[in-house]
Amino acid sequence: MNNEILNSKEVAKMLGISRATLWRLRTNNDSQCSNPFPKPIQITVRLIGWEKHVLDNWLKEQRKQLH
């Protein structure tokens, strides 16, 4: 399994969204949603990141829900 960690800039680029939109996805995450946005992991006191494979799985689920 690939344990690549992406920072917020990389995640925003991967998703084709701004960092502000990424922040909104993170903070407005509805736990009642069938496919909530993945929670970041704390890397250091001031740095968070997301595991790429977790984001890939989230994107697959998002696409399934659209069809």
- Distance of alpha carbon 20 from alpha carbon 34, whole angstroms: 23
- Distance of alpha carbon 56 from alpha carbon 5, whole angstroms: 12
11-41: pLDDT as tens digits: 999 999 999 999 999 888 766 677 899 999 9
> How do 5-6 and 48-51 pair as beta strands?
antiparallel
Average pLDDT, the chain: 90
**What ranges do the domains of the chain cover?**
5-66
Give me the torsion for CA of 3, 7, 13, 17, rounded to 10°.
120
pLDDT of residue 43: 94
- Mean pLDDT value of segment 50-62: 96
Full-prediction pTM beyond 0.95? no
User: Are 65 and 56 a contacting pair, CB within 8 Å?
Assistant: no
Q: What percent of the chain has pLDDT over 70?
A: 91
More confident residue, 25 or 1: 25
